[in-house]
Structure 1
Amino acid sequence: MNNNSNKFNTERKLNSSDQFNKTFKSIKSKVTSYKNPNVLFILGTIIILAIVFIILFPEKLTSQNPYSIEGIKSAIQSNGTLAIKGAPFSPSKENLLGTDSLGRDILSIIVYGTSFTVEICFFVVLGRFLIALPLGIAAGVGNSFSNSAINLFNVIFSTVPSLLISIMILKIAFFTNLFKAQSLIAFVVVLTAVGWSKLAGIIRERVQSILAQPFVTGEKAIGKSNFKIIMENVLPHFSPELTVLFFMEMALALSMLMQLGFFGLYVGNIRVVQNSDSNALVNISYEPEWASMLSSSINSFKTAPWTVLSPAAAFFISIFGFNLFGEGLRKKLQSKNSMFIVNFRNILTLKLISKKTLKYAGSLAIIILALFTTFTVRSSNNKKAITAEASALTNWEGENQVLIGSNEASHTADYLKAVLEKTGFKPLGKDYIQAYNVGNLYSINSYKFKVTSSNTTETLALGKDFSLENCTNYFLSGNLVFSENLDIFNIKDFSRFDGSFVALDEKIYSKEAIKNFSEKLQKSSKSLGIIDIISDAEKLPEVTYGSASSSPFIYLTRTASLKLKKDSQITLDIKTTTLSDTGKNVIGVLPGNNPKTSKEAILISVGYNYLDYDKESALKRIKMAIELAYKLNNKDSKLQRTIIIAFWDGNKVDKYSGERYYCANPLYLLENTVLNLDLTNIDTKGDTLRFNTELAPVSRYFAWAFNHELQTNLKNHGIKISTAGNNVLTQNLDVNKDPQAVLYTKGVPTIIAMPSEAKSLTKKTTVNDNFVDILVNTITENKY
């Protein structure tokens, strides 16, 4: 008994001694590690965590918009003189790192560009590993094809530097003109292609050295297959170096991007603008990205060094951080007490997956799924609530026909005023309604237009066969003067046209000549009116109202003109109603929240006059504008710029256009209106949109960039865009005559929605379903 007891005590002492030694060694190891900290790993970790924080929370570091442009700054000096400075602006309290040549805040571009720049490098490194890892391992175990491929590419890129090859490829016009998504793919493919072989060579050499180790020879001796040896021996022993290589490759990819930036190559949209002052070419970078900052500012180093030093510093710190982290990680993973290889092997062989692990993983997955579902449902319910409230505001049947000065127009204006007030828009001026005088107007109630010849009578239809330039009560009957040989320029006796209608063909006479002859005819004779036979390509003017005229000016289609004979008798009977002499624009404003850009305004306008046959489309356009107003005021993000919603009266006839009146009597400074988006003619029946963007050129950078972003968003959401030329949405129009272009003549860049050339009815109004949300997101994301 005593012997057993002594033996037990002796074993307990030994166990206690072993436990003490282990504890002592552990404490000693920790103390030693504290005395010799892994400085490289600590500094690298700090830099990489900072990069991750910037990517996740850019708004915490800057309140500036990286797309905002500020071309000039003005200030009153102490001596009372006005000082005006042009971009780039030097560092200040407002712009800590200064601005670039377009007046954009450099700090905000660097902050928001971090995500884009690191994303490019990540995909480049990922692409290299996807190619290099399998080929490098295969070459390491003796695959001849992989060996040949790696050797061939290494010889090529040893002879011609990879940087030079990248420049030669990416300088091709096809690549420089690509938009963001396509450009990103092009850069990833090119930079992956020029860098994978070197990485594959490193992997091959390391695999060969591991396979030469005695423990691998033993594994082969017991009959293990090559695949098992790779999974259980090669990859676990190579895993620390693979992890380190990933971060080192990130540094190399960043370095390559920086070098390409110095040569004017970068991901994103590139536009070259002619500077009329210095006659020099200037690169404009659309997206916030570090390499593009270097490219566009390299020529400004002497005059504005901060434009170059800031992105260069961002590159340097990031490259330095990834290199530090990689080297520090190498030291940490290769230390004696590192369990990385063991854990990696356990993961590959699924040894870490126990019931307990699955239980915790399942619980975590359920929690994440519940949180995601709650967030999604809440977001979806919030969106549905906003959409439902917007739909309630647009639950309006409208009038059968709305013409300027009519009771229907007055009722519509009052309704739009009430709706703007409910959406949260404020009146622009004293009231939502901007009234203006249009004189005495008449609207056609009933009509008869008969052509009688050789005992046959033909009846012509208003809007289909003919229309009137002006209208009042007419009852006119007389003969027709219709001759192709009539010399209208040298007539001395106009009395020959008394009591007759005169028909003139635009195939023979110009429209201007016919107009001039009509004026002379009214002054010098008692003729009944002029009939203008329009050209085949021209449409009848949509005129069912106008001012009084002593004799009518009648537009006739070429098809209807075939009913006219030289002996025809014309009878025109028009009965009209007198309209009000007041037009009513309805305008609301939603102020912006950014002190720097809130004075700039985006004007979104739509005409609210329509005829009975166009009621459905017109009401959809009006309701789209109402929904847009409501959603803009209920969007979570704050508006950077002021938004103006305008409903124009008189949009059917240029002479009484409410847009023309607003242009002559603006309620908001036109020089501060950076864009006019006119939706009066937007197509609501097809699944294709067409815009005129000639009036938003690249020289008006904000409008041009907004147009680009809107195009991109529309295409990404499946809405077809009818284009002409090199991705330019355009349809020719006469700037001096088209009422929708009147604001452009006063300096306001304009984008005009146009009717589609051919309507596709395969879908039931894609535009009305999606366009409003896309436009709201384009405005509130403010990426221009």
Structure 2
Amino acid sequence: MINKLKKINTPLILGLILVSIILFIAIYGYQLIPLDPFSTHFSLPKVVDGELKIDNPPHDPNDINIWGTDVIGRDVFSRVIYGTKLTIQLGLLIALFRFLVALPFAFFAGFGGRISSKIIDIFNTTFSAIPALIVSFIVLGLGFIRVMEIESAVIAYIVVLTFVGWGRFATILRDRIKDILSKDFIKGEVAIGKNKFSIAVQNVLPHLFASILIYYLIEVSRVLIIIAELGVLGVYIGVNKVNMDLINELKIDIVPSYYPEWGSMLSSARYAITAWKPWIVIYPALAIFISVLGFNLLGEGLKIELNKRNSKFIIFLKHIPYHLSPRTYIYQIRTMKRYKKSVFIKTAVVVGIIIYFILPSPKSQFDIDKEQLYSHVEELSKEKYGGRKLGTEGKEIASEYILNQLKNSGVEPLFGESYIQKDSVEVNMKTVQKVDFYINTENKNVKFEFKKDYNLFRLFLDKTSDTTYSGEIRRRILSYENYEKGNYDENEKYFIVMSESRRYNHSTVMRLMEEKFIDGLFFVMQDAVIRSYRDIEIMGPLTELEKTEGFFGAMDFPVTQETADILKSYEGEEFVLDITLEYIDKYDVKNIGGVIKGKDSTKPPMILACNYDYKGITNGLEDEGLLYNGTSIATNLEVARVLKEKDFKPDRDIYVTFFDASITNKKKGMDAFRKSDVYENMSEDHFIMFLNYLGYKDSDTLFLDTSLLFSDNKAHYNFTKILTKRGKELDMNLKLDRVAEPMDGITNMNANGSSGISIGSVNDITRSKADTLEQNLKIIDEEKLEKQAQLIIDAITMYNYELK
């Protein structure tokens, strides 16, 4: 009995078990987790026994969050399980690319190539003298890498960690190849006239295969260790999209990573230890430990088998390429009687794979009418709506259109007997009513176009009425180069033309603004900034511009490179900025809502939500806001129409809502909604599905922002699983990523007790680009919009779900 136990290869068995479990979790982790890995958990303040109780994260392990939560309330268990895929994927890919680089160099060096051998020695020696961790920390810590989207960051990690690690891998392979070449059977192959290539492929590679697998597994564990070390040092994969307003509000010293990856979760180690919240880092550290142990044990177990004489396991591994070869399969079919079992197994696997890919997905219960859907988008693109700007006739016409569509669909009013909720909110909006920016020369005026050639952020203007700011600014043009040379008249007033702002340090800018004859700067900015929508800050009346010397009291506004070049070509000439801003302090919002009654109105309702106002059309741009919310309005209307037309009776009430005043600097339509009787009487387990940026032609991905979910509500997360599952069945590329911005109304709703998701064709990074586009019919894809609308209606109608 004891002898039999001694013969058991324990490391191999344990390694196989651990690695199998890890790979299973990596593949099916999303289906295994009970809570969303991005969602937060902030309990609203409560009065208990006369005392105000505020329960902010991190939360200790409990019945819901079995491993506790991190500093912003995200479930640690879900993040560790969900992060398995990304972490193990990195380990496997980086080890694979190290192998792919190392193998050809090792073969050339093993067969006597001096140059290849020298290159291997250089890389191996260099990253032995200078630890790979230090080089990786420096390179991967560079700013441009740290702000990469996750897909680009994965590539960056693969490149850098392959570069610093392939030399040692190649050294091991080279020595093993030389050992194989020294065997007697190789001498026999040379004697019969085989060339080096044939020997390498037919003799060396089969004998090397087991060794490659062993060293590859050990290399994976090495990669996982360096990823963990980088994480502890604060270098982790992907741009951090955590809401900084939330971090400031919580008054914590660390910014946890956004993406769930084990190494990045260790970046909170110092906080977890000093604040005695060990669960934040113990579990990701344990996951890394178990994974490293599993891959090492599997590698060591295979090495034990390799050293055995006539090991059946190693013989099997060496024959894997042979068994997987299509030629072998064809030969076995021809000699069926001899290989009946093998042919049966292989055929069953092939048939299973074919069936999996050709099996049709479940048919939708109700189909979206693409023509009807797109007709709403086309309607909102008409000139009469004027960009649906607050306080304009066009926005009122849009509200009437939405209202009529709800009535025609048979949707019941949400606000008692009315579809409309009105309330006055403080919006504090300043929008450009008229602007002229030109160079006044003797021969002609050189004019520039707002949000095409320049933008405006901070101005000095006079308040000419309760609703307007206006003024005219005239200054001379001076280039930074001539300022440095002293080529100017101190009795004149100048604006200096600069290059990109990042080329100048803070002290340089401060020195410029301290000059009494300099009243402002033109900075070269990227087109995305020039086209962006931002609030214009009024620094004071025009009279103060003459006296201002500090940077924060001076004017600066961005221009394109082309505009900067034109300004420099007219150096010494006078430019004129004549501008009128419309100011809205308070606004009577007009939210629109209908309800599709369910079987049980006491259940938490589902809220289909979108905004319906836009920023208006400026300077004749064909920008109707169709991507921002035009397609979302159309989707909401079409979903409501189909549900009523097909007489679908949901388990719960479905609210179809259209919110006003989304583009404001303070309160929004959603803030007004929170004061309504509907909201106050609503179950706290209500679920919001907020739509925006749907049907974008240049995006092949639909993003689900689940960071707006509450991490203690399993039912809400299960609904996002339904969306993800149906998306795959509809052959859509769905991705969990951030969509909502801190200034969005849905973010504020979430902060005040509403759980839900935001759905769009852009994430927070690509959204900034989309906001600079002329959002007309040219950038909307009918097919993509139809599929996205179909996903929403399928999730509502085809599956059983609870929200509590």
Summarize deviations over 1:9-50 as a string: whole Å, max 9, x none. xxxxxxxxxxxxxxxxxxx9xx96566322111111111111
Partners of 2:417 and 2:18 in 1: how far apart? Answer: 55
Change (3 A) 1:276 1:659: closer
Contact 2:206 2:318 in 1 (8 A): yes
What is the CA–CA distance in structure 2 between the aligned matches of 1:209 and 1:768, rounded to whole Å?
63
Alignment counterpart, residue 270 of structure 2, candidates 284, 295, 298: 298
Aligned residue-pair number: 558
TM-score by length of 1: 0.58
- Tell me, yes or no, if the aligned pair for 1:404 and 1:583 is still in contact at 8 Å: no
Measure, in 2, the Cα distance between the counterparts of 1:287 and 1:76: 35
Q: 2 CA distance for matches of 1:774 and 1:742?
A: 20
| Gap runs ≥5 in structure 1 | 1-27, 439-464, 467-507, 517-580, 634-638, 690-697, 704-712, 719-726
SS of alignment partner, residue 368 of structure 2: helix
Residue in 1 that maps onto 2:572? none
CA distance, structure 1, for counterparts of residue 749 and residue 207 of structure 2? 72
Secondary structure of the corresponding residue to residue 59 of structure 2: coil
1:678-721 per-position Cα deviation (integer Å, ceiling 9, x unaligned):
86xx899x9689xxxxxxxx9x9749xxxxxxxxx9xxx99xxx
Query: Of 586, 607, 610, which aligns to 1:604?
Result: 610
| Structure 2 counterpart SS, 1:604 | strand
The aligned counterpart of 1:315 is 288
- Could you say if the C-alpha distance between residues 290 and 666 of structure 1 is closer, same or farther in structure 2, counting changes exceeding 3 Å? farther
C-alpha contact 1:232 1:348 (8 A) present in aligned 2: no
1:211 matches 2:181: yes
Letter in 2 for 1:343: H
**Aligned counterparts of 2:750 and 2:44: Cα–Cα separation in 1:** 23
Q: 1:209 to 1:85 in 2, by over 3 A?
A: same
Q: How does 1:623-638 map to 2 (within 5 A)?
A: 623-627=634-638
Higher relative contact order (CA 8 A, sep 6+): 2
Query: Which of the pair has more CA radius of gyration?
Result: 1
Q: Distance in 2 between matches of 1:406 and 1:144?
A: 79
The aligned amino acid for 1:604 is C
In structure 2, the partner of 1:186 is 156
- Counterpart in the other structure of 2:316: 340
5+ residue gaps, structure 2, are 335-342, 386-392, 425-432, 435-460, 470-587, 645-649, 700-704, 710-726, 759-763, 797-804
Alignment counterpart, residue 413 of structure 1, candidates 382, 403, 419: 403
* Shift in alpha-carbon separation, 1:299–1:631, aligned structure 2, 3 A: farther
- Alignment match, 2:350: 365
Q: Deviations over 1:332-386 (max 9, x none)?
A: 34432422366257469987344334875567535532441123xx35x54xx65
CA-CA distance at 1:159 after TM superposition: 1.1
Q: What does residue range 172-571 of structure 1 map to in structure 2 within 5 Å? A: 172-270=142-240, 273=244, 276=248, 281-303=253-275, 304-335=277-308, 336-338=310-312, 339-340=315-316, 343=319, 346=322, 352-357=328-333, 361=346, 364-375=349-360, 378=361, 381-382=363-364, 386-388=366-368, 413=403, 415-417=405-407, 419=409, 421=411, 428=414, 430=416, 433-434=419-420, 511-512=464-465
Are 1:63 and 2:34 counterparts?
yes
2 CA distance for matches of 1:742 and 1:34? Answer: 62
Contact 1:270 1:286 in 2 (8 A): yes
- Secondary structure of the residue that 2:254 maps to in structure 1? strand
- For 1:741 and 1:349, how far apart are their aligned partners in 2? 58
Partners of 2:136 and 2:164 lie apart in 1 by 7
Measure the CA separation in 2 of the matches of 1:660 and 1:279: 25
Structure 1 distance, partners of 2:147, 2:135, is 19
Q: Deviations over 1:709-743 (max 9, x none)?
A: xxxx9xxx99xxxxxxxx9999xxxx9xxxx9899
Contact 2:409 2:640 in 1 (8 A): no
Structure 2 CA distance for aligned equivalents of residues 437 and 96 of structure 1: 43
Hey, what's the Cα distance between the residues in 2 that align with 1:328 and 1:653? 64
**Residues 303-348 of structure 1: CA distance to partner in whole angstroms, max 9, x if unpaired?**
2011111111111011011111111122234432422366257469
Q: CA deviation at 1:190?
A: 0.7
Change (3 A) 1:289 1:627: farther
Quote the Cα distance in structure 2 between the aligned partners of 1:72 and 1:362.
Answer: 56
* CA distance in 2: counterparts of 1:222 and 1:213, whole angstroms: 15
- Residue 328 of structure 2 aligns with an amino acid whose one-letter code is L
RMSD: 5.8
Residues 251 and 318, structure 1, Cα contact 8 Å, conserved in 2 = yes
TM-score, normalization by structure 2: 0.57
Contact 1:417 1:432 in 2 (8 A): no
Q: 1:632 to 1:97 in 2, by over 3 A?
A: farther
Superposed displacement of residue 235, structure 1:
1.3
Q: Does 1:103 align with 2:89?
A: no
In structure 1, the partner of 2:545 is: none
Contact 1:135/1:146 (<8 A) preserved: yes
Q: In the aligned structure 2, how far is the partner of 1:212 from the partner of 1:587? A: 82
| 2:116 aligned with 1:146 | yes
Alpha-carbon distance in 2 for matches of 1:252, 1:590 = 58
**1:85, CA displacement in angstroms?**
2.5
Per the alignment, residue 543 of structure 1 pairs with none
Cα distance in 2 for residues equivalent to 1:419 and 1:614:
29
Distance 1:252 1:323, change over 3 A: same
Residues 601-659 of structure 1: CA deviation (Å, up to 9, x unaligned): 78422259x99x999979866423324668999xxxxx9x99864236899999xx987
- How far apart are the structure 1 equivalents of 2:173 and 2:395? 81
Structure 1 residues 261 and 414 mapped into 2: Cα distance closer, same or farther (>3 Å)?
same
Cα distance change of structure 1 residues 116 and 728 upon mapping to structure 2, 3 Å threshold: closer
2:698 and 2:230 map into 1 onto residues whose CA distance is: 39
SS in 2 for 1:270: coil
> Which piece of structure 1 moves more, 80-89 or 233-242?
80-89
Asked whether 1:586 is paired with 2:583, we answer no
- TM-fit CA distance, 1:164: 0.9
Alpha-carbon separation, structure 1, partners of 2:358 and 2:117? 50
Contact 1:133 1:200 in 2 (8 A): yes
CA distance in 2, matches of 1:98, 1:352: 53
User: For 2:256, what is the secondary structure of its paired residue?
Assistant: strand
Question: For the Cα contact (< 8 Å) 1:607–1:650, is it kept in 2?
Answer: yes
User: 2 CA distance for matches of 1:406 and 1:340?
Assistant: 74
- Residue pair 1:687, 1:766 contacting (<8 A) in 2 also: yes
Q: Per the alignment, do residues 601 and 346 of structure 1 end up closer, same or farther by CA in structure 2, a change over 3 Å counting?
A: closer
Alignment of 1:649-660 (within 5 A): none
- Looking at structure 2, the residues matched to 269 and 261 of structure 1 have their Cα atoms a distance apart, in angstroms, of 14
Distance 2:321 2:422 in 1: 82
Instruction: Quote the residue 1:487 is aligned against.
Output: none
Instruction: Quote how far apart the aligned CAs of 1:155 are.
Output: 1.5
Which string of whole-angstrom CA distances, capped at 9 and with x for unpartnered residues, describes residues 476-505 of structure 1? Answer: xxxxxxxxxxxxxxxxxxxxxxxxxxxxxx
- Mapped to 1, the partners of 2:368 and 2:789 lie a distance apart of 18
Q: Which amino acid aligns with 1:124?
A: I
Cα offset for 1:587?
3.6
| Aligned equivalents of 1:144, 1:658: Cα separation in 2 | 72
Is contact 2:631–2:785 with CA below 8 Å preserved after alignment?
A: no
